[in-house]
């Protein structure tokens, strides 16, 4: 499998886009961060069902089809979605994130949104390390114990330098161990990426 690094910049939400949002009151916008409250809370159905969530996103969120479910936090009653590019998720990226706030009836009451714009591959395609090599990295670095199980593995992107005007997104393996622990492995160099986006040896 091959892939290239991509770049993008924070989208500036326009007045025209915001004006088309129905049943929403914009509570804050610094142009690249949109905060909105629903005048009438919106039922979302089974949010872990891709179809139900996608229906909600496409009907209520600017470029809603470009986001995918990441996690639900029962304590804070929030759903986190991250942006997709080339059908692959851009992991843990504050500039391509949608945070939905739910009430006790699991209806969406408000949200905060950011989006990466002008995404394009800028680098020559390189060979991405095989999935088994990414798993091997975790084992060699002692992150995988004998009784651990790899319950999910998929390829996506990670922005190693965030909070800048433009971002570089690198192909990255996402590995889930025992259905609860997330690890990210650099797709070209095979190094572990920590939660702060730093590449570890």
Convert the pLDDT of each residue in 32-91 to its tens digit.
999 999 999 999 988 778 889 999 999 999 999 999 999 999 999 999 999 999 999 999
> Percentage of the chain surpassing pLDDT 70?
94
Do 95 and 22 belong together in one domain? yes
8 Å CB contact between 134 and 175: yes
CB-CB contact of 35 with 112 (8 Å): yes
CATH number at residue 79: 3.30.310.160
The predicted structure's pLDDT at residue 121: 87
Q: Are residues 110 and 15 in the same domain?
A: yes
Q: Are residues 63 and 95 in the same domain?
A: yes
Residue 100: which of 132, 67, 126 has the closest Cα?
67
What is the DSSP code string of the chain? -EE--EEEEEPPPPHHHHHT--SEEEEEE-SSSEEEEEEEEEE---TTSHHHHHHHHHHHSTTGGGEEEEEEETTTTEEEEEEEETTEEEET-TTSEEEEEE-TTSEEEEEEE--EEEEEE-S--EEPPPHHHHHHHHHHTT-S-TT--EEEEEEEEEESS-SSSEEEEEEEEEEEETTTEEEEEETTT--EE-TTSPEE-
Statement to judge: residues 68 and 92 lie in one domain: yes
* 14 and 82 both lie in a single domain: yes
Q: Could you tell me if 60 and 86 lie in one domain?
A: yes
- Quote the number of domains for the chain: 2
Q: Clarify whether residues 115 and 130 are in a common domain.
A: no
Ramachandran angles phi, psi of 114, nearest 5°: -130, 160
Specify whether 13 is located in the same domain as 93: yes
CATH number of the domain enclosing 180: 2.40.128.690
Cβ pair 70, 48 in contact under 8 A: no
Residues 63 and 135 in one domain: no
Give the closest residue to 96 by CA, choosing from 112, 82, 77, 75: 82
The domain boundary, picked from 79, 100, 119, lies at 119
**Tokens standing for 63?**
């470029």
Q: For residue range 134-176, list pLDDT tens digits in order.
A: 999 999 999 999 899 999 999 999 987 655 567 899 999 999 9
The more confidently predicted of residues 197 and 7 is 7
User: Are 112 and 157 members of one domain?
Assistant: no
Asked which of 103, 119, 135 is the last residue of a domain, the reply is 119
Q: Are residues 115 and 36 in the same domain?
A: yes
Q: Answer with the one of 84, 102, 119 that is the final residue of a domain.
A: 119
**Contact partners, residue 125, CB within 8 Å, separation at least 6:** 2, 3, 4
Which residues constitute the domain of residue 25? Answer: 2-119
Are 166 and 9 within 8 A, CB to CB?
yes
């Amino acid at each position: 499998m091959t892939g290239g690094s991509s770049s993008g910049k924070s989208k500036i939400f326009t007045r025209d886009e915001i004006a088309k949002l129905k049943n929403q009151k914009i509570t804050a916008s610094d142009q690249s961060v949109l905060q909105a409250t629903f005048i009438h809370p919106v039922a979302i159905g089974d949010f872990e069902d891709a179809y139900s969530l996608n229906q909600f996103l496409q009907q209520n969120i600017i470029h809603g089809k470009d986001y995918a479910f990441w996690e639900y936090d029962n304590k804070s009653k929030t759903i986190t979605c991250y942006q997709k590019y080339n059908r692959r998720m851009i992991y843990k990226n504050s500039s391509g994130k949608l945070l939905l706030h739910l009430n006790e009836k699991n209806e969406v009451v408000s949200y905060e949104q950011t989006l990466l714009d002008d995404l394009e591959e800028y680098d020559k395609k390189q060979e991405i390390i095989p999935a088994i090599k990414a798993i091997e990295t975790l084992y060699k670095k002692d992150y995988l114990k004998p009784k651990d199980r790899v319950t999910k593995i998929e390829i996506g992107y990670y922005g190693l330098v965030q909070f800048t005007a433009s971002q570089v997104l690198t192909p990255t393996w996402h590995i889930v161990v025992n259905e609860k622990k997330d690890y990210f492995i650099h797709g070209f160099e095979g190094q572990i990426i920590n939660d702060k986006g730093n590449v570890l040896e």
